[in-house]
Amino acid sequence: MSTGNNNFIFAQEQYLAQGVDVNNALECLEKISISIHAWQGDDVVGFENTNHALTGGCQVTGNYPGRARNADELRADLEQALQLIPGRHRVNLQGHQVDKMFPGVDRDAFSIEHFSTWLAWSKEHQIPLDIAPAFYSHPKLDNGYSLAHPDRGIREFWINHGKAIRNIAQAFGKQQKSASIVNFWAPDGSKDLVADRWTPRQRLIAALDAIFAENLPAQEVADAVEGKLFGIGTEAYTVGSNDLYIAYAASRKKLLCLDSGHFHPTESVADKISAVLGIIPELLLHVSRGVRWDSDHVILLNDDLLQIAQECVRYDYLHRIHIALDYFDASINRVAAWVIGTRNMQKALLIGLLEPRQALLASEKKFNLTRRMALQEASKTLPWGSIWDQFCSKHNLPLDHQIIQALEAYDRKVLQKRG
């Protein structure tokens, strides 16, 4: 018997002593698909070949070699990343990550033809696709406003872009036999104090209502709305705040997207999950890591991530939570950023699934707060790492300390040779 198997058996026994079924946890983890954000691979630039400046509060720092310059390179990078991530997952696109452009056609008239190779790739590899409109990095993001712009013509452009992306998502959803999630985030806002907070929000609500006017089949398209506290250039006022979108999602029966980088650093996104799921049927989570601000660092296995993952798996509502990643770091190997971040998300979920839940609930029910704290702290030292290694081995994938070899090999063979 190998040392690895011995470690797993020992760990299994340790968890069993705490009333935790390791096999049940692994089966549950196997079923969780994470939507991996394609824009980590191209630095949120897209492939429109129009040289639009990166605007709308998005900022990617670093100049590590190998950014994907077209959709083919991006797909190749994603395939490499997915080979090092256990389980079956999804890919999330931005509306400007097109396969091809057509003369005279702008974002307001995009169709599935612009994403035809993505559709074929999805079918070939059995990878479901999600997509989000790109309301940024375009001349019609005027003075920081898109859907909430006072000019009707500019608003109509962006409304039509939102409609176009929903139709593209419907084509994805029909093929993949699961709803393609379309997440709506608009960067509209102001750098400094405004005289009128009300009117732009009314325009945003009306624009969203126009985008969602066509009822697309729920089994093909799921719409989500995502708020934000602030962004670069919108430090004082964000039209699409979290408060606005909670009300909008609840009243329009949309998914609410909570991005872990879009709140004040002292706010707990984990705490918000159970709060809003009592009102809103489904949630989309964008998991990121902010360092002092919404800086979208690669997620680490830290307390914030653990709390989010634990909250996701503690109750019988995993089927109501869609987990996606949203960060972009150009200072390191971009493929490695996908692999490390996604595996960290999975590890956090596994730790949550291995929590001695029943013992904790029993203590809490009796208001034995001392015992609850002791159990919580003791569970931190249980050998979850051996369970994770078993999960990777089951998928014939390298363990954490081994993935760097595959990543560095791809770096030398592919990324370093790109201009």
Question: Does the annotation count 226 as an active-site position?
Answer: yes
Instruction: Give the Cα-Cα-Cα angle 267, 271, 276 (nearest 5 degrees).
Output: 110
Q: Per the residue annotation, which of 286, 347, 388, 411 is the catalytic one?
A: 286
Q: Per the residue annotation, which of 43, 99, 188, 226 is the catalytic one?
A: 226
Question: Does the annotation count 326 as an active-site position?
Answer: yes
| Whole-number Å distance between alpha carbons of 310 and 355 | 8
Closest to 346 in 3D by CA, of 321, 317, 325: 325
Q: Per the residue annotation, which of 73, 99, 326, 329 is the catalytic one?
A: 326
Q: Per the residue annotation, which of 37, 114, 138, 262 is the catalytic one?
A: 262
Question: Does the annotation count 228 as an active-site position?
Answer: yes
Is the distance from CB of 331 to CB of 411 less than 8 angstroms?
no
Question: Does the annotation count 77 as an active-site position?
Answer: no
Q: Per the residue annotation, which of 42, 99, 220, 296 is the catalytic one?
A: 296
DSSP code at position 101: -
- CA-derived radius of gyration, the chain: 22
Q: Per the residue annotation, which of 185, 338, 384, 388 is the catalytic one?
A: 185
| Whole-number Å distance between alpha carbons of 128 and 408 | 28
What count of other Cβ atoms lies within 10 Å of the Cβ of residue 331?
13
Q: Per the residue annotation, which of 161, 163, 228, 272 is the catalytic one?
A: 228
Question: Does the annotation count 259 as an active-site position?
Answer: yes
Question: Does the annotation count 316 as an active-site position?
Answer: no
Instruction: Give the Cα-Cα-Cα angle 91, 96, 100 (nearest 5 degrees).
Output: 95
Q: Per the residue annotation, which of 99, 294, 329, 389 is the catalytic one?
A: 294
Q: Per the residue annotation, which of 259, 304, 329, 355 is the catalytic one?
A: 259
Q: Are strands 283-287 and 255-259 parallel, antiparallel or unpaired?
A: parallel
Is the distance from CB of 85 to CB of 349 less than 8 angstroms?
no
Question: Does the annotation count 262 as an active-site position?
Answer: yes
| Whole-number Å distance between alpha carbons of 390 and 164 | 44
Give the contacts of 299 (CB within 8 A, at least 6 positions apart). Answer: 287, 288, 289, 305, 325, 327, 341, 344, 345
Q: Which residues are catalytic?
A: 185, 226, 228, 259, 262, 286, 294, 296, 326
